Structure 1
Amino acid sequence: MQVTINGIDTRYVLSNEGGGPWLTFIHQLAGDLSVWDQLAGYFRNDYTVLRYDLRGHGQTAVSPDAFSIATLADDLAELLDRLGAPSTHVVGLSIGGMVAQQFAADHQARVDTLTVVGAPAFTPEEARPTFGQRASSVRQSGTASIVEVTLERWLTTGFRRAHPEVVEQIAETIARTPAEGFARAAEAVRDFDVRGRLASVARPTLVVAGKHDSGTPNAASKVIADTVPGARFEILDAAHLSPIEDSQRFTAILETFLRSSV
């Protein structure tokens, strides 16, 4: 389905066989809603599951202007308004985890629970030039040029060897991402910092880190868990895409968390 959100033609998929509480999944940089296919299939009998493509990703239009993570959080709020969802459980991966945190800070009354996966509370000063360089490189050479190095960060060597079909699908998604869509999102990540607002997030919160995640070290994820009152912290035997690489444990942890937070 397509809907125009804050001037951007946005793709979303809604699965509500169970007609239960809303559960929203937000994907990673250079990803799309397909990363949540398995999770959506699992939870759709008990929840109204929403997945969507961020600006400039998947089948959502590229933003004509620069934007921030706060803009992406406002996009989610507007999408929920259009779909008639007063509140939702929010699960975000990577940049999606940044959007989820920002959404919880800016629209807390609309958050039932918050789950942050493989994302920091802020981009450190020393890491910011890296995202600017990635944006510039992709504008020049396209997203196909970053496929291999991205896969190496996202998935462990053992997983990539054992599941080539999964790796191929993820690689195709990266390569299909519009260069300008990736670049503008990377620049939003560069400037992200919500750590000063997390202590006021009064919602049940789960933080999940990958043991082998070089892009978002465990310590960076733990900052969130240590700042949000009562937050839970879990480390999975995976790299950046823990919902894919350690899917059984991730699903079990998320299901338990959601049920215990009702």
Structure 2
Amino acid sequence: MQINVNGIDTRYVLSNEGGGPWLTFIHQLGGDLSIWDQLAGYFRDDFTVLRYDVRGHGQTAISDRQFSVADLSQDLRTLLDALGVQKTHIVGMSMGGMIAQQFALDNPTRIETLTLADTHAASPADGRAVWEQRAAKARDEGVAALAQATLERWLTADFRGAHPEVVEQIREVFESTSSEGYAQACFALRDFDARSRLKEIALPTLAVAGRHDAGTPPAATQEIANAIRDAQFELLDAAHLAPIEQSQRFTALLESFLQKWV
């Protein structure tokens, strides 16, 4: 389904077989809502599951200006308002985790629980140039030029060898991402920094990291958990897309976590 969100034509999908509490999933840079297909199918019997394409990704329109993570947080709020959602559980992976952190700071009363996977609260100083390089390459050569290196960061070699069909689906989505949308998101992530405010988050929080994640080291996600009071931290045997690579383990962790607060 499509809806206008802050002037951006936005795609979203609802799965609500059980008509339960709202559960919102936010995807990674260079992804779209399809990354959550398996999890949405699992949780739809007990939750009203919302997935959407972040601006400049999937079937959501490109912004006509450079945006920030705060803008992406506002997009989520506008979408929830349009759907009549008062409160939701939120799961964000990578870029989605940064949007989720910002949303928790901007709209704490709209969240039931917060799950953050393979994400950080700010780019390290030496990481800012990396975002700029990726944005430039996407604009100059197209996102397909970044695909192979990205997949090697996102998924371990063992997983890529054992599940080529999953890898190809992720590759197809990545390569179809708008180069401009990807580039604008790179600059938004470059400038994101929530470190000084994390202690303000007073929500039940689950933080999950992949042991083999070289791009966002587990310590970066654990730093978030350490800053949020009583947050739960879990380490999975995976690379950057831990909820996908270790889907059964992540699903079990998320289900157990959510059951405490439903």
Instruction: Using structure 2 for the length normalisation, give the TM-score.
Output: 0.99
| CA offsets 1:216-247 (integer angstroms, 9 cap, x no match) | 10111111000001100000000001111000
Gaps of 5+ in 1: none
| Counterpart residue identity of residue 258, structure 2 | L
The aligned counterpart of 2:64 is 64
The aligned counterpart of 1:106 is 106
**What stretches of structure 1 move > 4 A for 4+ residues in a row?**
none
| Counterpart residue identity of residue 118, structure 2 | G
| Distance in 1 of aligned mates of 2:87 and 2:185 | 25
| Distance in 2 of aligned mates of 1:224 and 1:243 | 18
The alpha carbon displacement at 1:143 in A equals: 0.7
| Counterpart residue identity of residue 18, structure 2 | G
The aligned counterpart of 1:176 is 176
The alpha carbon displacement at 1:126 in A equals: 1.3
The aligned counterpart of 2:245 is 245
| CA offsets 1:167-198 (integer angstroms, 9 cap, x no match) | 01001011000000000001100001011111
| Distance in 2 of aligned mates of 1:196 and 1:249 | 31
The aligned counterpart of 2:92 is 92
Q: How many residues end up aligned between the 2 structures?
A: 262
| Distance in 2 of aligned mates of 1:120 and 1:211 | 14
1:176-215 pair list within 5 angstroms:
176-215=176-215
| Distance in 1 of aligned mates of 2:230 and 2:193 | 21
**Aligned pair 1:129/2:129, yes or no?**
yes
| CA offsets 1:40-65 (integer angstroms, 9 cap, x no match) | 00000000000000010000000110
The alpha carbon displacement at 1:200 in A equals: 1.1
The alpha carbon displacement at 1:66 in A equals: 0.3
| Distance in 2 of aligned mates of 1:255 and 1:77 | 24
The aligned counterpart of 2:216 is 216
The aligned counterpart of 2:167 is 167
| Distance in 2 of aligned mates of 1:180 and 1:76 | 20
The aligned counterpart of 2:79 is 79
| Counterpart residue identity of residue 176, structure 2 | R
| Counterpart residue identity of residue 178, structure 2 | P
The alpha carbon displacement at 1:146 in A equals: 0.7
The alpha carbon displacement at 1:34 in A equals: 0.2
**Aligned pair 1:25/2:52, yes or no?**
no
Q: Percent identity?
A: 62
| Distance in 1 of aligned mates of 2:101 and 2:138 | 26
The aligned counterpart of 2:254 is 254
Q: SS in structure 2 opposite 1:90?
A: strand
| CA offsets 1:2-34 (integer angstroms, 9 cap, x no match) | 000000000000111111100000000000000
Q: SS in structure 2 opposite 1:4?
A: strand
| Distance in 1 of aligned mates of 2:123 and 2:176 | 26
Q: SS in structure 2 opposite 1:114?
A: strand
Q: SS in structure 2 opposite 1:54?
A: coil
The alpha carbon displacement at 1:261 in A equals: 2.2
CA RMSD in angstroms comes to 0.5
| Distance in 2 of aligned mates of 1:108 and 1:197 | 13
